[in-house]
Chains A and B, each alone.
Chain A
Amino acid sequence: MITLKQVQKSYFNTATPLQVLKGIDMHVAEGEFVSIMGSSGSGKSTLLNILGILDDYDSGSYELAGTLVKNLSQTTAARYRNRFLGFVFQSFNLLPFKTAQENVALPLYYQKVSRSKRNQIALEYLDKVGIRDWAHHLPAELSGGQKQRVAIARALISKPRVVLADEPTGALDSVTSQEVINLFRQINRDEKLTMLVVTHENEVAAQTDRIIRLKDGQILLNE
C-alpha cells in the first residue's frame, strides 16, 4: 500500500539547512497496523506529513496505492488527501464552531455530498466510534477521549485507504488512550484499513503489528 524508496527531506528555512530524513526505505502492506517510534526530533512527524501529502520531499520516491506521489499540484494533493487518506492528530484539530456531527461530515462536504446525506453518514460513523449521543455537541463540550473519537470518525468517513495518526494518544490519560487504541485495532480488523500511528508510548506500539523505529532521520529497526 505504501512504498518509500530513499526518501530525503531537508528544511531550508533554518539558519543552516537541516536534513531531517536521510533516505527512508519502507514498505507497508495493505491492512497492516504499523507504529512509528523514535525520540523527539527524530523526524516522525515529518515522515507522517510526507505520507499524508501534507508536505513535499526532496528526493526518492513515494508510492501510495500504486500511484507515485511526487510534485503534485495543490489541487491534486487535496483530492488525494480527501480520497485516500484519513488523519488523526494529537491535538484533535476539530473546528470549534461546528458540532461533532458537522465536524465528521466535513470531508464529505469537499466530496460534494449533499448536506442531509453526509449528516446521516456522519451519524453512522459517530455510532461506530460510540458517541452518537454527542452528535449535536460542540467540541468544547466533549472530553479529550470523545474529541479523539470524533476525529477518528472524521478520518474514516471518506472511506480512506490509509489512516495516519500523529501521537493520537499524546493528550489522553492511559485509560482513554487504551480505549482509542482498542478502537483503532477494531477498525483495522473490521475495515481492513492500513494504519500508521506515530507514538512514543511503548504500550501503544506493542499493540500494533509492527514497529518502525526512527533515529536521526533513518530507520533504525524494522521489526
Chain B
Amino acid sequence: MIDLLQEIGYGIRKNKLRTFLTAFSVGWGIFILIILLGAGSGLLNGIIYQFRDGAINSIWIRPQRTSLAYGGMQPGRQLRFTNEDYDYVKNNVKGVEHVTARFYLWGEFTIRYKQNYSAFDVRSCHPDHRYLEKTLITKGRFLNDKDQLEKRKVAVIGTKVEEILFKGVEPLDKYITINNIQYKVVGVFDDEGGEQEVRQLYIPISTAQMAYNGGNRIHHLMYTVGDASPKENDAILNEVKKNIAERHRFDPNDPRALSIWNNIEDFKRITGVFDAIGIFLWVVGLGTIVAGIVGVSNIMLISVKERTREIGIRKALGATPSSIVSLILLESIIITAGAGYLGLLSGIGLVELIQWGLAQAGEQPEFFRNPQVNISTALYALLILVFSGTLAGFFPARRAAQIVPIEALKEE
C-alpha cells in the first residue's frame, strides 16, 4: 500500500500546478455545498423558531355541527364536548403525552388588585396546558392537579398582568378579584408567543365550570403526542375521533363534525418546503462538484496520455491491467478526496464562524438562526467525494488499462 502511494506521489508531483488547480475546483465545490447546506439549516432553524410558542406536536379539537345524518338523527346538530371526552383521551388513548381542555370564559374580565384594575382575558384549563402553550413559570407554580380536583380559586397571571396590577409588589399569595370573585395568585408566567399571551390569566377548568355555570362542558380539547411519527400521530387522532363519534353519536366520517387543528400538518407543510429547498441546495452544490469531477477526469486523461510510455514500460515489466487501474483510480481518489476534505473543513469552519458571529451579536435575526452542518451531512459529503474520485478516475483508468505496450514503447 505504501508502495502504491509512493507510485502515485510521482504522478501528482509531476504536474503540481495542474493537479492543484483541479483539486481546487473539487474543494471549492464541496465548500459551496457545505455553505449552502449551512445557510439552509439556518433558515430552517429560523422557521422552527417561529413555531416556538406552541408545542410542535399538538392537536386541537373543537366540536362543530354535524353534516351527515346518523342513527336516525338529522344533520346540523350542534355537538358539545364534556369532561368525559377529556377523561377518555387522558386515560385511555395510548401515545398521548399531555392533555388539556379549555372552558371559554367569553369576553374580557375586569381584574382587580386593591385599587388597580384592568381588563384581561381569562383562560381555564387543565395543568397540562402549560406544555401545549410552552408556558414558562417565572414565579411560584402553574396550576396543579389538586387545584383542579378541589376546584380551588387560584390563578396564574401573565407577566404583563403582574406588571399592571402589582406594579412591583410581590404577587404570590395575594388575592385578586375576577368579576368580583376572589382568586389567590399562585404563579406568574411568561410566554414567548408575544405580548397578547402574557396579558392573560389561567384558572383551573373545574373552578371555571363551577363559577360560570359550565356544568361539565368543555369547548376545546388539546393534546400532544410526544415524538410520535406522522403515521403514529394519524393513528392516535383516528382513535380519538372514533371514540368521540361513538360517544356523541355521529358519523365518524363526518368531515364537519369536528374542527381539528393539527399543528403537525402545518409544521410538516413548512418543513416540506424546506425539504424542497434542501434538495435544491444539494442539486446546486452537487452541480458544482460535478464540474470539479469533470475537471479532475480531464486532467487525469491528459496525465494518462502523457504517461503512456511509462505505463507501457510498466506493462512490459509485468504490470497487470488491474494494477494500472488501481494506480490511476487511487490517484484520482486521493486528489478529489484530499481537496474535498479541505473544502469540507473550510466550509464547516466558515459556517461555525458565522454561527459564532451571530451568537456574539446577541440578538439573532428571527428568520436565520444557528446555521450548522450536521455530522451526517459531512459524512455524505465525504462519501460523495470518494465516489466522485472513483468516477473521475474511471475513464482515465480504463484508458490506461487499454494502453498497448508496443504502441507505447514505439512513441518517441
Contact = CB atoms under 8 A, between A and B. Distances in A.
Q: Do A and B come from one complex?
A: yes
A-B CB proximity, top 6 nearest = A82-B318, A110-B318, A78-B320, A75-B320, A107-B317, A54-B405
Given A91-B412, A115-B2, A49 B406 contact: yes
User: For A93, A111, A154, which residue has the most chain B Cβ atoms within 10 angstroms?
Assistant: A93
Interface string A168-179: 000000000000
Contact of A93 (B3, B10, B313, B318): B313
Contact of A81 (B14, B318, B322): B318
Main secondary structure of the interface of B (DSSP, over half): helix
A154 B316 CA distance: 12
B318 A74 contact: no
Interface of A: 49, 52, 54-55, 74-75, 78-79, 81-83, 87, 89, 91, 93-95, 97-98, 106-107, 109-111, 115, 154, 158
Contacts, number: 59
A96 to B, nearest CB: 8
A44 B322 CA distance: 30
A95 B310 contact: yes
A71 to B, nearest CB: 16
A76 to B, nearest CB: 9
A74 B320 contact: yes
A91 B410 CA distance: 10
A123 to B, nearest CB: 17
A175 B406 CA distance: 29
A82 B309 CA distance: 18
Nearest to A93: B313
Given A89-B409, A109-B3, A115-B2, A154 B320 contact: no
A110 B319 contact: yes
B315 interface: yes
Nearest to A49: B406
A79 B321 CA distance: 11
A106 B321 contact: no
B144 interface: no
B14 A75 contact: no
A74 B13 CA distance: 29
